[in-house]
A and B are shown apart, each in its own frame.
Chain A
Amino acid sequence: MWSYIAQQLINALSYGSILGLLAVGYTMIYGILGLINFAHGEIFMIGAFACYLLSAHWNLPWIVCATGAVLASTAVGVMLQRFVYKPCQKRKASVLTMFIASFAASLGLRFFFLMLYTDDRKPFPIPEIFDTMYFVGDVAIGFRDIAIFISTIVVMLLLTYFIRYTKIGIAMRAVSFDLRTAEHMGVSSEKIIVAAFVIGSLLAGLSAIEYGLSFGVVNPSMGFLPGLSGFIAAVIGGIGNVPGAMLGGYLIGVGEVLFVAALPTEYSPLRPLFVWALLLIILFLKPSGLFRPNVKFEGTWEN
């Protein structure tokens, strides 16, 4: 029994890492633009796809594919900002308009890949080193789980340092808290928005590689559910709060996996319901999330 739970926990930690990295992207962009970047799940999907394509078509070494994945995600994120959100902002569009635009961008990207590659599951390239298993008692720990967890923790620490102590990081937090005042203090909000998209999409690409390593498949609609869970993780962690988003990701990942593990198997298709139930409970009890949000007016747009 205990070994079963421990085994599930190890799976949960990988899933939580994936969600945590996604949540950071959401939280940064939401904090700065006040916009749910609905296309974030598709940025994630494109990262995984780039890795698959590079490896399947050109047979490149894995590390090159992985780098390509991160670069592809970043490029898509920046292009979305440049060609969708920036023109909207320039015309002083309302947040709702931008949300519909991001909804459209998300569906458009997903169907573009569906059009080219159909919705079949494709194998994600996994180097042999990740297949190594270690055994602690009855519990099997794959090298991939360790790699995913450690790389996530390292990235999180780096990011925390970046957000806390570097000049851009401080400027980002300032813009996230109050854009107008930050601009008065001489922060160029345009640069900060681009920086937020770069970092968020980069982390989404990293998260896509982790997803591929842990599930081994790629398909065009893979981004939707992790994307939503990632956003919920960002809300739970307090919007704009980067470490909070990471913790929120782990909370949802662990909660979701343990929820499925605890229930009898005939209820396991109900897994998506858990996330929504958790979201609603947390939003009712503490609408600002579990940790302190870093935005002045959150969760609402007044006309």
Chain B
Amino acid sequence: MDLTKHLKFLVVIAIIICIILLMEKSLTGLMISVIVLFAINAIVCLGVSITNSYTNIFSLGFGGIMLVAGYTSALLTLPVTYKAAVLHLPSWLESAHWAFAPAIIVSGVVAVLASVILVLPAFRLSGHYFILASLGINLVMANLGINLSKFTHGAMGIRNIPFYTNLWWVFGFLALTVIFIWRLKRSKFGRALITIGKDNTLAATLGINVVRYKIYSFIIGSFIVGIGGALWVHYIGAMHPHVFDLLFVFMIVAMLALGGSNTISGAITGAAIITFFIQLARPIQEGFTLSGVTVPPLQGLIQVLIAIMLVLVMIYRPDGIFYREPKINWLIGRNKTKDKPR
């Protein structure tokens, strides 16, 4: 039984690798960029869903945390000559020219540190006040990004960031994240987080240290989110303080809400739908001529449509598309699941 299970896993992984290989060989640049952005968005969604839906502390501060991670990764990997010419860094940072893998891990760790420092004081708040304070994290980070021009080159932003991210990196990290969260949700630790999300008081009476577990959930979430930010930066190749602004935060919230925020499949589906929708609708937004009728360019139409869709989803199906995980017993080799997936 165990052998077939592993075999199935191996087959699935092999198929996924084949698909990625096929995509890399056959697709054009635009489609590949859409798929990479989808994978990055999915990673961010999964990271955000740990805090926002499993532990149920709705935070909008992940934009600021991604900003920190993005800058860290950029500064560690930039060419030394560019850093010497544009930025004024301390010498150890200026001479640093790291490989991608350590830089991305370090940027995740820095994101964790930043989030703990920023979020820890905000834990005295709850509900709406916490949302507001977390929104403040975004504003404060963007503001610091503009004003600490020694490190960030101000509002002009950093260019020449090496392009490291490709399909393999993003899908590798996406697979790791999915497996990690899948295991997490079935572990004692993850069940504690979900219990806190359902009811704080109940969790406390069951002997769960609520504050400590909330901090843990922030640590895990910000690590994943930070990695997403670093991948993004190395894909786009440029960085400025407003990349992860309120609009980006809104898009992530929309993805989670549409797909269903407390399932893995929901986060990935939401990211896929919205990322592909943005790309498909872009030509409409640029304006076109259809059988003699000229439609003027309407910059912002996509955002309006997504906003309307999100309002409708919130009214008619606030749990999103996937409220429960779809059954994949054929893959994990269970006949009847006693422990219902959420």
Contacts and interface: CB of A to CB of B under 8 A. Distances in A.
B57 to A, nearest CB: 11
A41 to B, nearest CB: 11
B258 to A, nearest CB: 11
A299 interface: yes
A108 B304 contact: yes
Nearest to B127: A300
B311 interface: yes
Contact of B135 (A105, A111, A228, A235): A228
B121 A235 contact: no
B125 A287 contact: yes
A232 B318 CA distance: 28
Interface string B78-120: 0000000000000000000000000000000000000000000
Contact of A283 (B133, B143, B300, B301): B133
Interface string B218-261: 00000000000000000000000000001100100110010000
Interface string B263-298: 000000000000000000000000000000000001
Contact of A88 (B135, B201, B300, B314): B314
B310 A224 contact: no
B315 A84 contact: yes
Nearest to B303: A111
B131 A99 contact: yes
Contacts of A97: 314, 318
B132 A101 contact: no
Contact of B310 (A30, A100, A228, A272): A100
A154 to B, nearest CB: 30
Interface in A249-303: 269-270, 272-273, 276, 279-280, 283-284, 287, 299-303
Interface residues of A, number: 48
Contacts of A235: 129, 132
Interface in A104-157: 104-105, 107-109, 111-112, 114-116, 118
A87 interface: yes
A3 B98 CA distance: 55
Contact of B314 (A30, A93, A224): A93
A273 B250 contact: no
B250 to A, nearest CB: 5
B199 interface: yes
B139 interface: yes
Nearest to B318: A97
A36 interface: yes
Given A98-B314, A280-B121, A108 B307 contact: yes
A105 B312 CA distance: 10
A91 interface: yes
Contact of B300 (A103, A115, A232, A269): A115
A97 B319 CA distance: 9
Contacts of A300: 126-127
A211 interface: no
Instruction: Describe A's contact surface by its main secondary structure.
Output: helix
B136 interface: yes
Contacts of B257: 100
Given A100-B257, A235-B132, A269 B147 contact: yes
B200 interface: yes
A113 B300 CA distance: 9
B308 interface: yes
A116 B299 CA distance: 8
Interface in B139-186: 139-140, 143, 146-147
Interface in A21-35: 30, 35
B205 to A, nearest CB: 14
A300 B139 CA distance: 23
Contacts of B122: 280
A87 B147 contact: no
A170 to B, nearest CB: 26
Contacts of B200: 302
A232 B132 contact: yes
A112 B310 contact: no
A96 interface: yes
Given A99-B131, A103-B250, A115-B301, A272 B139 contact: yes
- Central interface residue in A30, A35, A300, by most chain B CB within 10 Å: A300
A94 interface: yes
B318 A114 contact: no
Given A94-B318, A276-B133, 12 more contacts: A84-B315, A87-B315, A88-B314, A91-B318, A97-B318, A100-B314, A104-B250, A105-B307, A112-B300, A283-B129, A287-B129, A300-B127
Interface of B: 56, 58, 121-122, 124-129, 131-133, 135-136, 139-140, 143, 146-147, 197-201, 246-247, 250, 253-254, 257, 298-301, 303-304, 306-308, 310-311, 314-316, 318
Closest 10 pairs (CB-CB, A-B): A108-B307, A115-B300, A104-B310, A111-B303, A101-B314, A111-B300, A276-B136, A300-B127, A97-B318, A114-B300
